[in-house]
Amino acid sequence: MQRGPGPSPRTRAGRRRSTTPDHISDVAIDLFTARGFGEVSVDDVAQAAGIARRTLFRYYGSKNALPWGAFDDHLQTLRALLDHVDDAVPLGDALRDALLTFNTFDELETARHRQRMRVILETAELQAYSMTMYAGWRAVIAEFVAERTGTPASALGPQTVAWTMLGVALSAYERWLADDSVSLPQALGDAFDVVRGGFDAAF
């Protein structure tokens, strides 16, 4: 259910649509999908969201941040998932379960998430910024592995697992975006299973 590229319809007099980071990001995703990332300005997004430019910048520091939405909040969710894993659960099982749970969406959310990930993964101008966002995701994984193995998060083992998990996620997302018949959980599970033997052997 995609909005058009123009301004949002005006609300009734005396009422203002509530402004949330998710609403702004959703409006931006619609515009980027319809026009292309490079053809949409911050002013375009603000106008379509029915807010002032300065209000947009209270929520997002740059245009590049808009497709990512409340990603920091999602990282906290991932951290909480891993924090609650029982120590008796093997590392491979813990990482696989967390990966699939973190990337589980209902039907409506899945359609929006597909739009979001297509913008993030297929927009050349976003790739450098995306690496800074991936760093936060890798840090959560590395911290979990470090806790499990009694090593620093900066050590080779936790960092290798973190980078590998990022590769798993990105390859799965690329497959999912390329093939509508493949579900996201299936793509993620299949990608993880390719490398699982290495995790089981090492940890």
What digits encode the pLDDT tens for the residues 128-166? Answer: 999 999 999 999 999 999 999 999 999 999 999 999 999
In the predicted model, is pLDDT for residue 8 greater than 60?
no
Model pLDDT, residue 18: 66
CA Rg value for the chain: 19
Residues 27-44 have pLDDT tens digits of 999 999 999 999 999 999
Report the sign of the C-alpha dihedral through residues 155, 159, 160, 162, in that order. Answer: positive
Cβ-Cβ contacts under 8 Å for 71 (sequence gap 6 or more): 133, 136
Calculate the alpha carbon distances from 143 to 21, 89, 181 in Å: 27, 17, 35
- Torsion angle of C-alpha atoms 113, 118, 119, 123, degrees rounded to 10: 160
Using the Cα atoms of residue 153, residue 156, residue 161 and residue 162 in order, give the sign of their dihedral: positive
Note the pLDDT of residue 61.
95
SS3 of 85-136: the string is CCCCCCHHHHHHHHHHHHCCCCHHHHHHHHHHHHHHHHCHHHHHHHHHHHHH
CATH superfamily, region 1-69: Homeodomain-like (1.10.10.60)
**pLDDT confidence bin for 17, thresholds 50/70/90:** low
Average pLDDT of span 83-106: 94
In the chain, ranges of CATH 1.10.10.60 domains? 1-69
How many residues appear in the chain? 203
Q: What is the mean pLDDT of the chain?
A: 90
Identify the pLDDT of residue 134.
Answer: 97
Residue of higher predicted confidence among 135 and 15: 135
pLDDT band at 107; cut points 50, 70, 90: confident
In b/e form, how buried is each residue of 119-135, taking b as 16+ CB within 10 angstroms? Answer: bbeebeebeebbeebee
Q: What confidence score (pLDDT) does residue 108 get? A: 84
Single-letter residue type at 146: A
Average pLDDT over residues 174-181: 96
- The reply to whether CATH 2.60.40.1730 applies to domain 71-202 is no
